[in-house]
Every structure is written in C-alpha cells, then in structure tokens.
Amino acid sequence: MISDLLPVPLIRTLSLTLVITSVLVVESRRLRVAAAAYLLQALLIVALLAAFASMNHALYWWAATALVTKAVLIPWFLLRYIRRTGGVEVKPLVGFAPSVLVAAILMVAFFRLTHGQAGLLVPSALAKEEVLRTNLAVASTVFVLGLWALLTRRDAVKAVIGLCLLENGVHLGLVSFAPGLPETALFGVASEVVVTVFLLLYVIEGLFKEFGTTDTFQLRTLRW
C-alpha cells in the first residue's frame, strides 16, 4: 500500500486548504489579495508535492521547481503588473454568492466522480489508492475553478490568474495520473507556465495602454 508511505492526514489538510485558497483567488476582486492567495496556494502545492515525494523522488525536484516558478516568479510578475495598472478587478459576469455555490457543487461532484470512476483515466492499481483519488478530486476542482474564472471574469489580469489556477490543477493532477513522471518532463511543463504568464502580462500592458482598460469585453475590434 502506497498510503502507508505517505503522511495521509497532512495531505488531507493541505488539500482542503488548497481548495479554499482557490475560491479566494477566484472570488477576491482586489487583485492584490487574489495574487497573495495564489502565492499561498503555490506554497501549499510545494508542500503537497514534497509530501508525495516519498513515492517518487523526482517530485522533490518538481517541488523545488514549483517553489521557484509558482511561489516566486509568477506572484512577482503579477504584483509588479498590478502595481502599475491599479488593483481592482473589472466587475465579473457572475456575482459572489452564485459563484461560491458553483464552486461548492463542483467540489462535491468531483469527489464523487473521482472516487467512483478514477480507473477510467488511468487503469493502474495506484490510481485506485484513496489518497491519490482525493488528490485527483482536489486537482480537478482547482482546474475547473480556473476554467470558471476564465469564463466568467471580464478582467484580463483575472483571466491570467484563472489560467494559473487551471495550470495548478493540472500539475497537481499529474501526481495522481503519473506519479512516475521523470523530472525533465516536469521541469518543461512547469517552466512554460512562467513564460506564458510573462508574455500575457506583457501583452495586457500593451492592451491597457491602447484601450485604457483591462476589460476584455472592450476588445471588439476584431469580429468575425
């Protein structure tokens, strides 16, 4: 049993906190708070990866990479950008209460799904381990919350934060899908997110100068 090797209660606590930080990232309309919540989430992911690392030592490398990319570089880019263009998000499409409700429903649904159907994704004995299923549920929730943010938020910076959230979900999910992935692959996957965020913020800064706003609903020069 892989679970014997792992600090299961610690992983549970970290996972739950992770979901809460995701909701905070999506819901906070003060971008500085959202970025700080993202930083907190990044630290939790680093801790989780380290907790899982006893089953694959490559995960230590990944935890280190995540620390540099997610907890240092990306928040730094975000905060540097927010300081220049003002810190309040453009009003989102969906308000606070319905949004939190959706998050809760998604979470419950994914717990049920991953506990019933995990074998569908990867038919290995490992994927049926309780702790990895829980991780998969958390990862899918974070992923879908990121997608939710991308779909319902009008602010371009918030969309980037949503994208980061989505990537966090995927990266966390990889631990459950493919615990044996070698570090070169993980390094490639993690470093591309940083470049993506850097480029997107650079383009958004250009947009802000041209359009005077980061509201993506104003981007209507190109139709059809």
Cβ neighbours, 10 Å, residue 72: 14
Please enumerate in sequence order all residues whose Cβ is within 8 A of that of 115, keeping only pairs 6 or more positions apart, or say none.
Answer: 133, 137
* Residue 88 β-bridge partners: 30
116 binds another protein (CB under 8 A): no
Neighbours of 182 (CB within 10 A): 11
Q: Does 207 bind another protein (CB under 8 A)?
A: yes
Nearer to another protein, 10 or 203 (CB): 203
- Fill in the DSSP letter of residue 179: T
Give the orientation angle of helix 74-85 with respect to helix 31-52, to 10 degrees: 180
Distance between CA 103 and CA 38 in Å, rounded?
17
Does 78 help bind another protein (rule: CB under 8 A)? no
- Contacts for 106-111 with beta carbons within 8 Å, 24 or more apart? 106/141, 106/144, 106/145, 106/148, 107/19, 107/137, 107/141, 110/137, 110/140, 110/141, 110/144, 111/137
Please identify, among the stretches 26-34, 52-60, 63-71, 192-200, the one whose residues bind another protein according to the rule CB under 8 A: 192-200
Minimum distance between the CB of residue 167 and another protein, rounded to whole angstroms? 7
d(CA 64, CA 134): 23
Does residue 163 belong to the site contacting another protein (CB under 8 A)? yes
- Stretch of 55-63, 67-75, 99-107, 121-129 contacting another protein, by CB under 8 A: 121-129
Instruction: Pull the structure tokens for residue 215.
Output: 């509201």
- When asked if residue 113 is in the footprint of another protein (CB under 8 A), the reply is no
Determine, following the binding rule CB under 8 A, whether residue 147 of this chain makes contact with another protein.
yes
Give the one residue of 188, 213, 215, 217 binding another protein; rule: CB under 8 A.
188
* Distance separating alpha carbons of residues 169 and 176, to the nearest angstrom: 11
Is residue 196 within the footprint of another protein (CB under 8 A)? yes
Q: Any contact of residue 123 with another protein (CB under 8 A)?
A: yes
Closer residue to another protein in complex, CB, 104/195: 195
Q: Least separation, in Å, of the C-beta of 107 and another protein?
A: 19
Near another protein by CB under 8 A: residue from 86, 116, 180, 217: 180
C-beta closer to another protein: residue 97 or 222? 222
Chain residues in the site for another protein (CB under 8 A): 120-124, 147, 150, 156, 159-160, 163, 166-167, 170, 173-174, 177-178, 180-182, 185, 188-189, 192, 195-196, 199-200, 202-204, 206-207, 210-211, 216, 219, 221-222, 224
